């Protein structure tokens, strides 16, 4: 079975632009979580979606939004990009919403804002 997939792998944008990142979870997984990882730090939670509904949100501005589709894939959108948005964006899928379900991470999208 394929693991979590993300696209694109790398992306370069300029300040003020908008970006859309995509994630496909492991087959059968209904939960998708998004994380931002800045170099030298651990991943920071952005959103969790389960059964197409937002189930959790981290401390990120409204410029960040996401959605989940009927096939459980997900998109993360970031508007009005800032230099500080440069990071590795990770998507993680799990089979459940609550409980100590193991999260499987995708390879990430490396976003560079210039």
Q: Site residues (CB under 8 A) for other proteins? A: 31, 33, 35, 40-45, 48, 50, 55-56, 58, 90, 92, 94, 97-100, 102-108
Residue nearer to other proteins on the CB measure, 10 or 62: 10
d(CA 8, CA 16): 19
Nearer to other proteins, 17 or 57 (CB): 57
Per DSSP, the residues of 17-76 read --EEEEEEPPTT--EEEEEEE-TTS--EEEEEEETTEEEEE-S--TTEEEEE-TTS-EEE
Return the number of the residue (69 or 101) whose C-beta is nearest other proteins: 101
Supply the minimum distance, in Å, between the C-beta of residue 16 and other proteins.
Answer: 27
- CA separation for the pair 54, 31 (Å, rounded): 10
| Shortest separation between residue 54's beta carbon and other proteins, angstroms | 10
Q: How far is the CB of 65 from other proteins (least distance, A)?
A: 17
Dihedral, CA of residue 65, residue 68, residue 69 and residue 74, to nearest 10: 80
Q: Shortest distance, CB of residue 111 to other proteins, whole angstroms?
A: 14
């Amino acid at each position: 079975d394929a693991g979590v997939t993300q696209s694109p792998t790398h992306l370069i944008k300029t300040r003020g632009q908008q970006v859309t990142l995509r994630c496909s979870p492991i087959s059968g997984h209904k939960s998708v979580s998004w994380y931002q990882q800045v170099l030298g730090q651990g991943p920071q939670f952005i959103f969790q979606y389960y059964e197409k509904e937002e189930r959790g949100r981290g401390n990120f501005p409204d410029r960040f939004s996401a959605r989940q589709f009927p096939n459980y894939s997900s998109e993360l959108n970031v508007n009005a990009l800032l230099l500080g948005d440069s990071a590795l964006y990770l998507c993680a899928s799990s089979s459940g919403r609550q409980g100590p379900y193991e999260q499987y991470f995708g390879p990430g999208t490396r976003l560079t804002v210039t």
